[in-house]
Amino acid sequence: MTQDSKHLEVTLETQVESVNLAEEMCLRVAEAAGFGEDDCYRIGMSVREGVINAFHYGNEERPEKKIHLALDLTPEKMVIHVLDEGKGFDLRGVPDPLAQENLLSTSGRGIFLMRAFMDEFEVIPGRTGGAEIIMSKRLPPPGSAGRNGKSQNATPNKES
Amino acid sequence: MALRATYREAAGVTVVDIGGRITLGEGSALLRKTIRELLEEQRTLILLNLADVDYIDSSGIGELVSAYTGVKNRGGNLKLLHLTKKVHDLLQLTKLFTVFEVYSDESSALRSYQ
């Protein structure tokens, strides 16, 4: 961690309210860091999906387990870590929600949305034995239109 | 903002006016409850007016799909009206535009049930 980097860490209960709390917290950091409205939306949604994943699939909604959320803000990007206390999972085993046979599935779109909305996304085995989602978004250059620019758009990044 | 839902009858179709966020927790639960009540009342032609829905997460998407299949299984039809840009883009991204019939004006939507 360099002098210009900031680190924030919070432990969340395995409960529905943690999803909103995590989203709000990350949105505040993202806004303060200079992300525009579109990017804030994408970051907020990705954090929601990461914490929903930890709450539901990782910790299996068991209240004695915790969700560990960490943010690293560097001059280049915002990195978000969501760690659960479950059994971990392999990304290769996650069904493609865009496959015809999965379109009417009522779940299984969270990973897809995080991948679409963030610049980098990976899942690694966490120190708790659970899964750790690591995702990041590059900061817009100072003075660019994306720097706190306002529009209403959910379209993912081209490079995602 | 918490989800709110009210419904009205128009040309034999139940139009559900929804506002707020359809997300994990109360938002998704209210949508589920509303659709269940409508089906219990044998209302199977349903138009969801999402004009005031500014946010949907994956749980909300799942609830919309569940509502769609639940209504279809009862021999009815559930369509969507007035999507905001964010919701429109999200349905496009998840390919659900190929599943849902989506309308931008209520009269056309109501006529489509005839």
Which residues does chain B have within 8 Å of residue A156's beta carbon, measured at their own beta carbons? 93
Whether pLDDT at A18 is above 90: yes
Residue identified by tokens 């004006």 is: B105
State the ipTM, two decimals: 0.93
Whether pLDDT at A45 is above 80: yes
- CATH code (residue B34): 3.30.750.24
pTM for this model (two decimals)? 0.91
- How confident is the model at residue B13, as a pLDDT? 98
Identify the weakest region by mean pLDDT among A54-58, A88-92, A121-125: A88-92
pLDDT tens for each residue of chain B, 114 residues long = 678 999 999 999 999 999 999 999 988 999 999 999 999 999 999 999 999 999 999 999 999 999 999 999 999 999 999 999 999 999 999 999 999 999 999 999 999 999
Instruction: Provide DSSP, A22-83.
Output: HHHHHHHHHHHHTB-HHHHHHHHHHHHHHHHHIIIIISTT-TTSEEEEEEEE-SSEEEEEEE
H or E element that contains A132? strand A131-138
Count of the separate structural domains present in chain B? 1
Name the residue among A20, A97, A152 with its Cβ closest to that of B94.
A97
Cβ contact B24–A19 (<8 Å): yes
- How confident is the model at residue A4, as a pLDDT? 79
Q: What is the CATH number of domain A6-138?
A: 3.30.565.10
CB neighbours of residue A8 within 10 Å: 12
User: CB-based contact (8 Å) between B96 and chain A?
Assistant: yes
B58 three-class SS:
helix
Condensed to tens digits (0 to 9), the pLDDT of residues A80-99 reads 999 999 999 889 999 999 99
Cβ contact B63–A106 (<8 Å): yes
Residue identified by tokens 């395995």 is: A14
The residue segments making up the domain with residue B20 are 4-111
Joined together, the tokens standing for residue B2 give 């918490």
User: CB-based contact (8 Å) between A32 and chain B?
Assistant: no
